Amino acid sequence: MSLTHSIKTIIFCSLIIFLVACSGDGVEGNKPPASGLTGDMYLVMDSIQWKGPLGALIDSTFGAEMQILNRAEPIYRLRWIDPRKLNFILKQRRNLIFAVTLDQNTIGAKRVKGMFTKQSTDKIKADTSFFMSTATNLFAKGQEVLFLVGADEKSLIKKIKRNTNRIVAHFDRAEQTRLTTSLFKAGQMKGIAELLKNKMNIEMRIPFGYDLVTENSSFVWARQINQKDDKSIFIARKKYRSADQFKRDSLIQFRNDVCKKYLFGDPERLQSYLVTETAISFKPVLTREISFKGKYAVEMRGLWRTNNVTMGGPFLSYALVDEKTGMLYYIEGFTYAPGKQQREIMRELEVILNTFKVGE
């Protein structure tokens, strides 16, 4: 993004935030906490546009299937709100989107456009690069609000299509921030910080409620078993030798070797060890290169099963190198929750994995 575009975006955001803050529900300290479940999204939009191509695009953007789960689940549960029915309670939803174009003049569209000052409306008409603005804690504490605006529907649709990942990523970051706060509210797993520092020279926050299953200088496994789900975090490491170790097949092999040695569905049955599921063509193991806190890393998502096919579920992992020690670290979160929704579990595990740091 250019400096000029960034400055324009800041100016536009200021216009929108000033505008809505003036019509908000009290000063920051008096605002209620945001309501709604993790993964819920509320869209305030005129009914005609909601039923048309713009509504369909926003619905498909947030309703796209989350990658690599046992069962199909959308990234977010999108719920439509008629602007005429937007009340004090609905304004408090944790994830709120307002979408409108200036060429729409129905009652619902006028209600949304009524939030904008004339100065903001003129700005939208004059500079077609403006289409997206965000605000935090607008009507409630812990809330994220997104405005999608355009002079006309055709141009707004085009801009949303070009920025789908950016739009979704904004709410992903917000959910991760909220989850980090809630997951560690009760503290961390007792003694885990010292153990990881002494055994592997690393840092990772693992929430209170997890239990240590296995630990040595090359492998640590922590697990939380509940009535509804079984969640695990493990860390494995070995000497880094070449960039080939980051290839998909090499990471799968490393994972399988570690799982066969340490991870059993039932310790009394040696054929219940975990393997990576590679035989389901429509659920392939996916990898992508990322920056993990400034370090080169490869993210891997896929399904696992026990060797005797009695258990299975999704997993998420990251592989990265500590240049100082020359060690390749593989960190993973996986779950077993048969018949249950797993999207939010995987979001939790992702938050935990992202607390990982190599020692200084």
Q: What are phi and psi of 344, to 5 degrees?
A: -70, -30
The whole-number pLDDT of residue 17 equals: 42
Name the pLDDT band for 215 (thresholds 50, 70, 90).
Answer: very high
Mean pLDDT of 102-110: 94
Instruction: Tell me whether strands 295-306 and 286-292 are parallel, antiparallel or unpaired.
Output: antiparallel
Q: What percent of the chain has pLDDT over 90?
A: 79
Minimum mean pLDDT range among 48-62, 116-130, 287-301:
116-130
Q: Give the chain's mean pLDDT.
A: 90
Task: State pLDDT tens for residues 303-317.
Answer: 999 998 789 999 999
The residue that leads in pLDDT, 23 or 62, is: 62
- Whether 25 shows a pLDDT value over 60: the answer reads no
Token pair belonging to 299: 């993210």
Confidence band of 270 (pLDDT split at 50, 70, 90):
low
Mean pLDDT of 330-355: 96
What CATH superfamily is the domain 192-358? Mog1/PsbP, alpha/beta/alpha sandwich (3.40.1000.10)
Residue 1 has pLDDT above 90, yes or no: no
Mean pLDDT computed over 271-291: 94
The confidence band for 188, taking pLDDT boundaries of 50, 70 and 90, is very high
In angstroms, the CA 54 to CA 60 distance is: 10
Residue 7 pLDDT:
36
Q: How confident is the model at residue 267 (pLDDT cuts 50, 70, 90)?
A: low
Dump pLDDT digits (tens) for 80-91.
999 999 999 999
| Three-class HEC string of 141-198 | ECCEEEEEEECCHHHHHHHHHHCHHHHHHHHHHHHHHHHHHHHCCCCECCCHHHHHHH
The residue extents of the domains of the chain are: 3-183, 192-358
Model pLDDT for residues 284-293, shown as the tens digit of each residue: 999 999 999 9
Residue 167 has pLDDT above 90, yes or no: yes
By the 10 Å C-beta count (0-12 exposed, 13-18 middle, 19+ buried), 16 is classed as: buried
What is the mean pLDDT of the segment spanning 270-280? 89
- Mean pLDDT calculated for residue range 181-205: 94
Q: Categorize the per-residue pLDDT at 43 as very low, low, confident or very high, splitting at 50, 70 and 90.
A: very high
Q: How confident is the model at residue 2 (pLDDT cuts 50, 70, 90)?
A: very low
Is-contact 203 355, C-beta < 8 A? yes
> Per-residue pLDDT averaged across 316-337, rounded?
97
Is the pLDDT score of 150 beyond 60? Answer: yes
- Quote the pLDDT of residue 28: 63
Predicted local distance difference test score (pLDDT) of residue 36: 92
Q: 173-182 pLDDT, tens per residue? A: 999 999 999 9
Residue 114 has pLDDT above 80, yes or no: yes
List Cβ neighbours of 334 (8 Å cut-off, separation of 6 or more): 231, 232, 274, 304, 313, 314, 315, 316, 349
- In the predicted structure, residue 4 carries a pLDDT above the cut 50: no
**227-242 confidence digits (pLDDT tens):** 889 999 999 999 999 9
